[in-house]
Structure formats: structure tokens, C-alpha cells
A and B are shown apart, each in its own frame.
Chain A
């Protein structure tokens, strides 16, 4: 491997949980697509927030409230810069990618999709980017169309182009697939959709932690991600939307903070982004997310992407050298995710045996049952990597898989 500027040994020491043993073995954490581990800096930021400046935001003149508001809004600025948005008003705090997609479906979707119109998704989507659109289409008498994938798990662009038409109002696509790791050609997808006047939501839950994202370069209308997959806390995430689109969108939830003034006769709604943030938000979560962004920015997203790309290829090659292993998802453009099945062994049994070796992987359908169906399997085993994983850990994974095969021979 070319020398990476990342000092992985030092980085691993930043993550307290990586020092842990599981079943008397050092933890090998390869379930990063489910959720990523947290560096001490994130844990400290949350703890310091609660011990040093906890107060409600946007409503106090007292010192703590001002500090809390600064921390909360400071994190919003970090998100804006991190994903390349033009204005902080375009960054809306949500609980995570799931809430963001539901928000867009029930605001923008309700206002812009009509009976007989079409919403396009792909076979690769996580359930959270399927079900909200199914519900919307059912509510409105619209049709949900699904772009197929090839045997490598790649988005079929020609089929997509053929699907686009005057009825297409919205395209919702993931940037990186959680089940297979496929990186989708999002920029081209957006370009084509716009030619037909359709808006595009990009589910970036699996992209933001691993590649540099620039929402203005992608020109997407909405982009979303979850903090917990980006080494930040659970329960918070962000939705980016183009300013003019957000301005025109109907309301989501209502209550405090999203209003300017309320009388029993009339309520005036707040400006962006607060209009979509009813109620006391997850302030500590936002602060933790800001710290996570600082952490990965310090390492450099380009360094992270390069290191993980190399590791992902190493893992794919090592696993595919085991004859009983079949990789599911072999796209040319791929994140460091390896989904696989072993002849005659159910993924759950693989997962249990690997756990005995201290290795954490995900087994199951990965909330992407249509992907499983496409490949004729009920489940896969999935190793998903982050920058703190090493080749040594991949070797341990391969050894353990070999052991699984022995047990079941």
C-alpha cells in the first residue's frame, strides 16, 4: 500500500471502544455501515456541553442559553461547510436520514406530486428510502417506479433515462448503497432528472462518512445524512435543501421554535431553517455531530476515502480467494463494504461464529430486502469498514470465515 498520511495506530487510540475485548479477543469492528464508533473528541464534546453550557436554545437572554445557541448554530455552520452548501438556512436538523426522507415526502412530495405522477427510486434503496415514497404514492394516486440494477449491483442508467418523463416529479436515490457499497452516479442522475423538471433527493447516509460530498457540485435538490454513521451521536442528522425549494415548501411539524408569533387568530411562521425545526431540538447531538465533523475534517476526507478504498479492495480480494465465498455486489465504483454469502451456511451462523472471534459484522437483509431478492438470497454477511480498520483485521475476518467453513463442512 502507498503510505497513507493517516496514522492508523494513533487514530485507533482516539476511539475508546476499539480498546475493548469481546469474547476475550480484541474487538474487530466491521459493522460501520450500521453505525460508526465515536472518538473521544465527540464523547467529550457532548459531555462538556452538558457539564458546561446546557440550556435551551433560541430563547434565553441568559449566558448559558447564548452559549448553547452558539454551540448549536456553530455545528450547523460546520455541516454547511462540510457538505458544500451555500447557506446555513439550507441545513435543517433532523433525527436522521429516515426523518429527513419522511419530511421531504410529506412536505415537498405532498405539494408537488399529483395523481398519475411518478416517483423514481432504485432497487438499491434502504427501506427508509422506499417506504415513505410508497406511502406518498398511495396517498396521492401516484406511481412508484424502480430503476433496476445489473448483476454487479450497479444502477442501470439507460433504464433510468427511459423511465424519466413529464410525469416524473421526484427521484430519490442513495449516494452509496448500504447493502452492497455501490457508489451511484449521482451527478448524472441529477442532471437527467432536471432535464425533465424533476427534483432529486439524495440519501447520503452511507456516503458522507466515506467520501467528500459537495451538494452544489452534485446540484441535488435535497441531500441527507445521519450523524451516527459519521462517528457522531445517534438521534441527529441533517437535511440539506436548496433555499428556494425550502422557502416554498409546506410545513412539517408545528409547535414552538418554528413560529414567529402566535395568537389564537393567526400564527406567523419562522424563517428558514427554524420553520422545519419544531420543538426543543437535540442540542447535545448537534454539538457532538459538529465535533465529529471537526474530527474527520482534521484527518481529511480525501485521505479517508483513499485509505478505505485500498482497504475495501484488499478485503474483497482476500474474501473472494476463499472458494466457498461468493461476493454480492461487485460494482466498479464501490465503497469499503463487502457483502458475501458462503455456500451452505446461513449468514446468521457466520455472524455468531465471527462474534466468538471478537469480530462484529452485520448479517441479515440490511433493511434492503429488494436487493436480497435481486440476488436470490435471503440475507448476506456484510463487513463494512471505516478508516480505523486495518489489513490485519481483514486477515482475522478471512481466518474466521475459513473457520466457519470448517465447522459446517
Chain B
């Protein structure tokens, strides 16, 4: 597989074209806004948490394929997770993308999120892949401030 196909895998292209959970939740109790001042990418996250469990997540915004697919796949992966599990997943995802703890080519244990493992070889694109995640993290922390990748 060429580097490029490694970055733009079929599943990423698919989520870019048909993002899942795209829009704004009618009922939500955690929201946050994230932007990347470098490229003007922007995402709004709304989450509905019940009994400490993420019931629904949706996102809205404009961005490149990497950031759109990352947000889309993230919403699927977060559904049904406890708050602690969601935070843990963010941490793992973040360290995979930034290339920490990745000596082997073995599975990262991140399942579907593994498709983003190629991003760590494109330092200029790390922020694209992590914008939605940073924003969810801020929404779960509930400080309501807009987050920026800078």
C-alpha cells in the first residue's frame, strides 16, 4: 500500500463523503465548539449523556477529509461508552496519532480508529485528525469554552 492509500483509506473517504451523525442533537447536555485557526476548520459537537453514558453524539462543521472522517467515526465509536471509557479512548487515539508508543505495526487495540494510524506520518495533518476529539473532550469536561488546536 502506498503512503497515500494508507492515509486516505476507503473507510476515510467513505465517511468524508457520507458523514455519520452529522448535524445537531435535538436533546443534548454537553456541547463544545472547536476550531483550527491555521486552516479555518471548524466543528460543533453536541452530546447527550445519561447516567454517565454517552447516548448520542453529533457533529457539524467544515473541514478536510481527515477531520470530517475523524469526527464521523468518532461519533460512532463513542456511542454507549461511559465517560471514563470515552476519555480513555481519546487518550489512546491521541497517542496513536501523535506517534507516541508506536514501535510495532501491531494492532493498536483501537478497532476502527486504527484507520487513522497513518496520520502520524503527516505531522501537518495531526491537528485535522484530533480536532473533533479535543472538542469532545472539552464538551465532556463541560467548561463550554471554544477549543482551539493552537
Contact = CB atoms under 8 A, between A and B. Distances in A.
Contacts of A302: none
Interface string A385-409: 0000000000000000000000110
Contact of A348 (B4, B13, B128): B128
B40 interface: yes
A102 interface: no
A353 B7 CA distance: 10
Interface string B107-150: 00000000000000010110010000000000000000000000
Contacts of B64: 346-349
B106 interface: no
Interface in B1-35: 3-4, 7-8, 13, 16-17
The B interface, classified by DSSP as helix, strand, loop or mixed, is helix
Contact of A364 (B40, B42, B63): B40
Interface string A343-364: 0111111001100100000011
With a 10 A CB-CB cut-off, give which of A23, A346, A408 has the most chain B CB atoms.
A346
A311 interface: no
A364 B128 CA distance: 13
A408 B13 contact: yes
A407 B41 CA distance: 21
A349 B39 contact: no
Interface in A337-384: 344-349, 352-353, 356, 363-365, 369, 372, 378-379
Nearest to B5: A407
Contacts of B62: 378
B19 to A, nearest CB: 13
Nearest to B62: A378
B146 to A, nearest CB: 17
A369 B42 CA distance: 14
Given A346-B64, A348-B64, A408-B65, A356 B128 contact: no
With a 10 A CB-CB cut-off, give which of A347, A349, A353 has the most chain B CB atoms.
A349
Interface bin, chain A:
10 to 19
B82 to A, nearest CB: 33
B33 to A, nearest CB: 15
B148 to A, nearest CB: 15
B32 to A, nearest CB: 20
A364 B65 contact: no
Nearest to A363: B39
B4 A407 contact: yes
A372 B124 contact: no
B122 A352 contact: yes
A364 B122 contact: no
B66 interface: yes
B84 interface: no
Nearest to A408: B13
With a 10 A CB-CB cut-off, give which of A352, A356, A365, A379 has the most chain B CB atoms.
A352
Given A346-B65, A349-B64, A408-B13, A379 B39 contact: yes
Contacts of B41: 378
A353 B124 CA distance: 12
Nearest to B8: A407
A378 B3 CA distance: 27
A66 B15 CA distance: 66
Contact of B4 (A345, A347, A356, A369): A356
A364 B39 contact: yes
Nearest to B37: A365
B39 A348 contact: yes
B40 A356 contact: no
Contacts of A407: 4, 8, 13
A378 B125 contact: no
Contacts of A378: 39-42, 62
A342 B68 CA distance: 17
A346 B39 CA distance: 10
A334 to B, nearest CB: 24
B124 A352 contact: yes
A369 B3 contact: no
Nearest to B128: A348
A8 B18 CA distance: 46
Contact of A365 (B3, B39, B122, B128): B39
Interface in B24-70: 38-42, 62-66, 68
Given A23-B3, A348-B128, A408-B16, 10 more contacts: A344-B17, A346-B68, A349-B66, A352-B124, A363-B39, A365-B40, A378-B41, A379-B40, A407-B8, A408-B65
13 contacts: A344-B17, A345-B65, A346-B63, A352-B122, A352-B124, A352-B125, A365-B40, A372-B40, A378-B62, A379-B40, A407-B4, A407-B8, A407-B13
Interface of A: 23, 344-349, 352-353, 356, 363-365, 369, 372, 378-379, 407-408
**3 smallest beta-carbon distances between A and B, as pairs:** A346-B64, A348-B64, A378-B40
